[in-house]
Amino acid sequence: MDGINRWDVFSMITENLQTKLKLYRMTEEEYDLMKSLLGREPLSIEWPLFSALWSEHCSYKSSKIHLKKFSYRNQNTPLMDGENAGVVDLGCGEKIAFKMESHNHPSFIEPVQGSATGVGGILRDIFTMGARPIMSANFLCFGEVNALKMPYLMNGVAKGISTYGNCVGVATVTGQTNFHSRYNKNILVNALNVGYFAPDQKMALSGASGEKNLVVYVGAKTGRDGVHGASMASASFDDDTESKKPNVQIGDPFFEKLLIEACLEVLNKELVVAMQDMGAAGLTSSSFEMASKGNVGLVIDLKKVPLRDETMSAEDILLSESQERMLLICKPDNFEKLQNEFKKWSLDAVVLGEVQKSRIIKLMWGIESLTEIDPDLIVDKAPQYKRPYDVWSYPQRVDFLEPKNISVKNLITAKLQQFKLNQHHWIHNQFDQRVGARTAMACESSVAFARLDYSGRGLGLAVGCRPEVMLMDAEIGALDSVYYPAFQLAIKGAETLAITDCLNFGNPQKIEIMTEFVTSVEAIAKASRELDAPVISGNVSFYNETLGENIISTPATGVVALRSSVEHIIPDAFANSLESIILVQTNWVESWVYVDQFANKISKYKCNKLQDVAGFIKKCVGLTAYLKQYDKKISAIKAVGLGGIGTTCLKMCQSNIGFDLSYDLSSVNESELFKDIFYGFIISTAEDSAEIISILKKYFASANLECDIKKIGETRENEIKISQNTFLEFSKFKEIYFQDIDNNFDALAVRL
Amino acid sequence: MSFKVGIIRFLGTNCDADVKKWMTLKSHRAVYLWFENQFNVNDYDMLIIPGGFSHGDYLRCGALAAHTPVMKSVKEFATKGKPILGICNGFQILCEAGLLPGVLLKNDLQKFKDEWAMLKVIQNRSPFLQGTKKDQVIKLAIAHGEGKYFAETETLNKLVDNNQIWLTYENNPNGSVLNIAGITNENKNVCGLMPHPERALFEWMGSTDGMYFL
């Protein structure tokens, strides 16, 4: 050490450490933990392993202690801890697996590939369990249309989802699109998939087992795309998103389609012991998790990994998030058969190593050993943080104030503008909604239904979370994230079965964000218990903040429900002219007014806690069957959404049938037309309205649910009459409703 | 009458199972045929090439599929005058293989489009849609990014003269010339259409007009 004193060496080491911590996005405490678990300094190859698997994205270190609150299960939901998605037993031998996942950060950096690989990733989570993906859905939040890059992001996301989803041949059946300025610099792209197990279909597990069994790599070659993707997704954004583009993975849906077919085939031929997709943190997470879950060790030679770029280092290989890759465990005797099956689908299967009894992962580079490490150190011993939070104190809940200085006309104009913006046919029209020949109700409706192949029953699916409600009160908003989609499914005759969630939040190190997070988790857990619908899978996405500005806390959900058949599901849209329009409204859940951003006015509201909503939702399931007992039919039914009766009626005008709400002035006050209503619904019927009203009253009263039920208008052909003084030209309305965003992008921001 | 139907599968075909369900519903016996193998043309009464993204739509939709081994047998099948139906990507493949005239280009809006389409039956002499009357309007779903039918004037004139235009859109969704949604070859045994009859078999699907086929 001539010429260098000890202090210099020390400072070189600390500087070196700081650089490493920054590069691997770890804290000093985490470094200390890593060192004490290993009992030594980490080797250079171990840094990326810990970095990836201890990232928020992979380890759920800020949320894990709270996610335990979703432990409620019932007889339909077997415990499947640690598997890729939750499973629901539907009876009749049928099962489904479903899950929702975020791809927010990549989609903001590169919308087409970011959203496409989001779809691809969630599909792999499903078919890796042996289920055939049958329904896709998405939950999107964009900023204001005139925000920087927003049209580019919106078009890109729609294109990414459609290109990927259509090509793999899975119907995209429902979705929700929200717009708010708080998403200007951090859009949300959440993808959901439901997979189906027919009675004879085998379920796959992800725990490796069987000494000397082979570790097999299948699918696309490994490239540099997505290296460090998991840790990128676990950090906040600054202004420099361009430089992060190389972190975004590139997807190939054609490859995915081949993988789906090949993987399901080898599973059904029982050639596979365990299977796991290479998602976030690629080969690292898949191999370590398979070993940890199976209580075994693995020997893996990284030199055998098929590469797109031969100059890739061991670290690159471990962290690459190249898409469409799977890791399989198979018995040595079955390998040839397995390889032939994959060859049929034009896919390579390569042996990387084998399973060993001792719980050690041995990473090799040819004959050179890179590291030997206990997988549990990285998988199970990841740090868990009890980040500080407060008790929810309803900070924004205020009493109702009559919105001042807003004329009814301005209110209507504002509501219509918002309505216009929220129409997203131009997105849904790009999705193949009917491939699979199972779709009974798709994106044109508030909820989706697919026919289950074996039993012929209807599987309902809806996504939820209304950012406007979250903005006002995280507790009510999170309850509503579950109740509202469940309610929308219930009025179509489907009983809620289970829930998945995708919890999109800002920086968990900020106490107000963590408070909203904990409040939301508890509210969702409560709603889930009340509906007897367990939260069986989910995903947490933190650090949705850019330059210190957080998104609206957005706990998105996916709710599945079951209906006895797919026949006679009552549509959303008005079908016939001169029918009665009837409003059914709970009178114990107080409604509220929310004058939105478009009116540039105050937002004031009043809302009770959502009490007894679960009971009402459950009762709604049997509604149409009950009417049938009296030989009564209804032709349209739709939940009243934000924007109240007026907006909901507008949404029900999908054919040439409009409405007239002015028929009885005493029934609805003009200023009340666009007042938000919680948990009410509108029906259209050709039957005698007085009779229907009395039957409905009796029905709900039998469960001690007092509802206000009244006729509010009638359907009209080619006519929309909102009030005595307010008409809409039907053709103009349709033009707005169905316009393509490309044709008339500017028009979105223009006043009606 | 029950037929033995060969359903051709390529890598990336994704409506194969749907077509098989449809054939079973119509009491036909359906068998999958793999793109790498030729087959004995005498073994089947008719062929269906289902929709999807054969070979990833690489190069051009249907271009790679059109040059696979199975297509040799398909061409022989066509020459014998036996019925072949191409749906969506199957239609694109038949055009690429030269069994049908013209090409399918990107939709006018340059975007994938999924919607219900009203279609007029221009001629009902194809073997696949004899249950309908001429000029009858049927409702089928479309789902494609490249469904804009195009051919040169000379070809179009021939199509008209020979009564080869099979189905036309009532509201053209993609910019197809002459609103063409489906055509046949001169012999009327090879037929292609962009809409999906297998997605319109029951009321709950939204239409039952797919049942008119076969």
Domains and CATH numbers, chain B: 4-213 (3.40.50.880)
Do β-strands B84-87 and B190-193 pair in parallel, antiparallel, or remain unpaired? parallel
Distances, alpha carbon B183 to alpha carbons A702, B65, B132, B167, in Å? 59, 20, 16, 7
Question: Distance (Å, rounded) from C-alpha A320 to C-alpha A229?
Answer: 8
Do β-strands B180-184 and B46-49 pair in parallel, antiparallel, or remain unpaired? unpaired
What is the amino acid identity at position B61?
A: C
Pairwise CB contact (< 8 Å): A253 & B56: yes
User: Could you tell me if residue B197 is left (phi over 0), alpha (psi between -120 and 50 degrees) or otherwise beta?
Assistant: alpha
Give the containing element (helix H, strand E) for A682.
strand A680-685
- Residues whose CB falls within 8 Å of the CB of residue A234, separated by 6 or more in sequence, listed in order: A25, A55, A56, A57, A542, A543
Kindly report the length of chain A: 752
- Looking at residues A15-21, what average pLDDT do you find? 86
> Which residue in chain A has the smallest CA separation from B17?
A436
In the beta sheet, which residues pair with residue A639?
A681
The pLDDT score that the predictor gives to residue A23 is 87
- Provide the b/e sequence for A538-569 (b: ≥16 CB within 10 Å): bbbbbbbbbeeebbbbbbbbbbbbbbebbeeb
Residue A711 has pLDDT above 90, yes or no: yes
Question: Distance (Å, rounded) from C-alpha A389 to C-alpha B59?
Answer: 55
Pairwise CB contact (< 8 Å): A437 & B22: yes
> Which residue in chain B has the smallest CA separation from A458?
B204
Tell me the DSSP string of B79-101.
HTT--EEEETHHHHHHHHTTSSS
- Residues whose CB falls within 8 Å of the CB of residue A253, separated by 6 or more in sequence, listed in order: A116, A120, A163, A164, A165, A166, A167, A168, B53, B56
- Looking at residues B138-158, what average pLDDT do you find? 97
Query: Which residue among A169, A345, A569 places its CB closest to the CB of B52?
Result: A169
Least confident interval from A49-58, A120-129, A405-414, A446-455:
A405-414
> Which residue in chain B has the smallest CA separation from A456?
B204
Indicate which residue of B15, B88, B95, B191 is catalytic. Answer: B88
The pLDDT score that the predictor gives to residue A10 is 59
- Looking at residues A691-715, what average pLDDT do you find? 93
Least confident interval from A176-180, B8-12, B161-165:
A176-180
**Which chain B residues are Cβ-neighbours of A440 within 8 angstroms?**
204-205
Tell which residue, A127, A199, A138, A204, has the closest CA to residue A168.
Answer: A127
Residue A181 has pLDDT above 90, yes or no: no
Question: Distance (Å, rounded) from C-alpha A233 to C-alpha A217?
Answer: 25
A478 class by beta-carbon count within 10 Å (0-12 exposed, 13-18 middle, 19+ buried): buried
Question: Distance (Å, rounded) from C-alpha B55 to C-alpha A98?
Answer: 28
Q: What is the DSSP letter of B146?
A: S
The pLDDT score that the predictor gives to residue A2 is 45
Question: Distance (Å, rounded) from C-alpha A470 to C-alpha A86?
Answer: 26
Distances, alpha carbon A42 to alpha carbons A31, A380, A470, in Å? 9, 17, 43
Pairwise CB contact (< 8 Å): B203 & A567: yes
Write phi, then psi, for A33 (nearest 5 degrees): -60, -45
The pLDDT score that the predictor gives to residue A225 is 80
Tell which residue, B119, B93, B112, has the closest CA to residue B181.
Answer: B119
Residue A149 has pLDDT above 70, yes or no: yes
Give start and end residues of each alpha helix (H) in A97-149.
Answer: 104-109, 111-127
Question: Distance (Å, rounded) from C-alpha A598 to C-alpha A50?
Answer: 47
In the beta sheet, which residues pair with residue A188?
A141
The pLDDT score that the predictor gives to residue A229 is 67
- Looking at residues A346-364, what average pLDDT do you find? 95
Angle at A97 between CA A278 and CA A496, to 5 degrees: 145
Residue A703 has pLDDT above 50, yes or no: yes
Pairwise CB contact (< 8 Å): A254 & B15: no
**Which chain B residues are Cβ-neighbours of A434 within 8 angstroms?**
114, 141, 143, 196, 199, 205
Tell me the DSSP string of A315-347.
HHHHH---SSEEEEEE-GGGHHHHHHHHHHTT-
Torsion of CA A641, A646, A648, A651, to 10 degrees: -140
pLDDT one-digit tens code per residue, B157-198 = 999 999 999 999 999 999 999 999 999 999 999 999 999 999
Pairwise CB contact (< 8 Å): A258 & B111: no
> Which residue in chain A has the smallest CA separation from B111?
A430
> What's the N-to-C CA distance of chain B in angstroms?
10
- Provide the b/e sequence for A378-413 (b: ≥16 CB within 10 Å): bbebbeebebebeebeeeebeeeeebeebebeebbb
Tell me the DSSP string of A369-394.
EEEEE-HHHHHTS-------------
Query: Does residue B154 have an active-site annotation?
Result: no
The pLDDT score that the predictor gives to residue A604 is 45
The pLDDT score that the predictor gives to residue A668 is 60
Query: Which residue among B11, B114, B204 places its CB closest to the CB of A432?
Result: B114
Q: Are the CB atoms for A85 and A126 separated by under 8 Å?
A: yes
Pairwise CB contact (< 8 Å): B201 & A437: yes
- Residues whose CB falls within 8 Å of the CB of residue A14, separated by 6 or more in sequence, listed in order: none
Give the containing element (helix H, strand E) for B142.
strand B137-144
Query: Does residue A57 have an active-site annotation?
Result: yes
Look over chain B and give the mean of its residue pLDDT values, rounded to a whole number.
96
Rounded percentage of chain A residues whose pLDDT exceeds 90: 63
Question: Distance (Å, rounded) from C-alpha A277 to C-alpha A285?
Answer: 9
**Which chain B residues are Cβ-neighbours of A571 within 8 angstroms?**
none
- Looking at residues A284-300, what average pLDDT do you find? 94
Look over chain A and give the mean of its residue pLDDT values, rounded to a whole number.
87
- Residues whose CB falls within 8 Å of the CB of residue A510, separated by 6 or more in sequence, listed in order: A550
Kindly report the length of chain B: 214
A183 class by beta-carbon count within 10 Å (0-12 exposed, 13-18 middle, 19+ buried): buried
**Which chain A residues are Cβ-neighbours of B52 within 8 angstroms?**
169
User: Could you tell me if residue A612 is left (phi over 0), alpha (psi between -120 and 50 degrees) or otherwise beta?
Assistant: left
Q: Does B83 touch chain A (CB under 8 A)?
A: no
Question: Distance (Å, rounded) from C-alpha A284 to C-alpha B18?
Answer: 38
Angle at A636 between CA B136 and CA A734, to 5 degrees: 65
**Which chain A residues are Cβ-neighbours of B17 within 8 angstroms?**
436-437
The pLDDT score that the predictor gives to residue A746 is 39
Least confident interval from A168-182, A215-229, A454-468:
A215-229
- For helices A474-490 and A511-530, the axis angle rounded to 10 degrees is 30
Token couple for B179: 């609103």
User: Could you tell me if residue A649 is left (phi over 0), alpha (psi between -120 and 50 degrees) or otherwise beta?
Assistant: alpha
pLDDT one-digit tens code per residue, A584-609 = 988 777 655 554 444 434 344 555 56
pLDDT one-digit tens code per residue, A67-98 = 999 999 999 987 766 677 789 999 999 999 99
Of B99 and A5, more confident: B99
Q: Does B20 touch chain A (CB under 8 A)?
A: no
Q: Does B57 touch chain A (CB under 8 A)?
A: yes
HSE-up of residue B21 (Cα within 13 Å, Cβ side) = 18
Token couple for A134: 């049958």
Question: Distance (Å, rounded) from C-alpha A100 to C-alpha A542?
Answer: 15
Question: Distance (Å, rounded) from C-alpha A378 to C-alpha A17?
Answer: 20
Q: Is B174 helix (H, G, I), strand (E, B) or coil?
A: coil
The pLDDT score that the predictor gives to residue A721 is 86
Question: Distance (Å, rounded) from C-alpha B110 to C-alpha B204?
Answer: 30
Write phi, then psi, for A365 (nearest 5 degrees): -125, 90
Pairwise CB contact (< 8 Å): B113 & A252: no
Least confident interval from A4-13, A235-244, B48-57:
A4-13
Query: Does residue B203 have an active-site annotation?
Result: no
Query: Which residue among A258, A432, A436 places its CB closest to the CB of B11?
Result: A258
Tell which residue, A642, A629, A644, A489, has the closest CA to residue A572.
Answer: A489
Question: Distance (Å, rounded) from C-alpha A98 to C-alpha A501?
Answer: 10
Q: Does B135 touch chain A (CB under 8 A)?
A: no
Q: Is A669 helix (H, G, I), strand (E, B) or coil?
A: coil
Q: Are the CB atoms for A556 and A477 separated by under 8 Å?
A: no
Question: Distance (Å, rounded) from C-alpha B12 to C-alpha B22?
Answer: 20
Q: Is A571 helix (H, G, I), strand (E, B) or coil?
A: coil
- Residues whose CB falls within 8 Å of the CB of residue A599, separated by 6 or more in sequence, listed in order: A406, A410, A411, A414
> Which residue in chain A has the smallest CA separation from B34?
A344
Angle at A169 between CA A320 and CA A261, to 5 degrees: 65
The pLDDT score that the predictor gives to residue A600 is 38
Tell which residue, B170, B202, B199, has the closest CA to residue B18.
Answer: B199
